[in-house]
Amino acid sequence: IDHFKKFNDTYGHQAGDLVLQRVADAVCKTLRDTDLLARYGGEEFAVIAPYVDRKAACVVAARVHACVEALAVTVGEDVLSVTVSLGVAYTGDYEWMPDADRLVADADAQLYLCKNEGRNTWSYRGRTAAQARRATQGVTG
């Protein structure tokens, strides 16, 4: 969750907990029955989506991104907007089945790319969502 510390610092830890709950609820509603959402760290989640190809993995990331971006979390009289940055790792990109640590490390590297690009996006194989869209549309920059 982008800038999660700001929710806790500005509105209190109960508001931060509410944001975590709402994000988890929204993401769960976008996933298939075979997918798994797990809280990985303080404000970090992991989605395991079995039986998908690389394109479908990116579709999952785009859906998760959009559902969280559409959230409006009401805290008192304030309505909070929430965004996420997502890193995608796909097992088919490896010559051999990678171990869990390598998958997490690769997804984490993509997450940090998103953060460096300004957050509120997802990334796969070194390209953020906007960069991937421009490449498929033949636009450079």
Closest C-alpha among 70, 65, 66 to residue 80: 70
* Residues 71, 29: Cα–Cα separation, whole Å: 12
Question: Tokens 């999952």 label which residue?
Answer: 60
For 113-118, the CB contacts below 8 A with 24+ separation are 113/87, 114/85, 114/86, 114/87, 115/85
| Side-chain half-sphere CA neighbours of 124 within 13 A | 19
H helix and E strand count, the chain: 5, 7
Residues labelled as active-site residues:
43
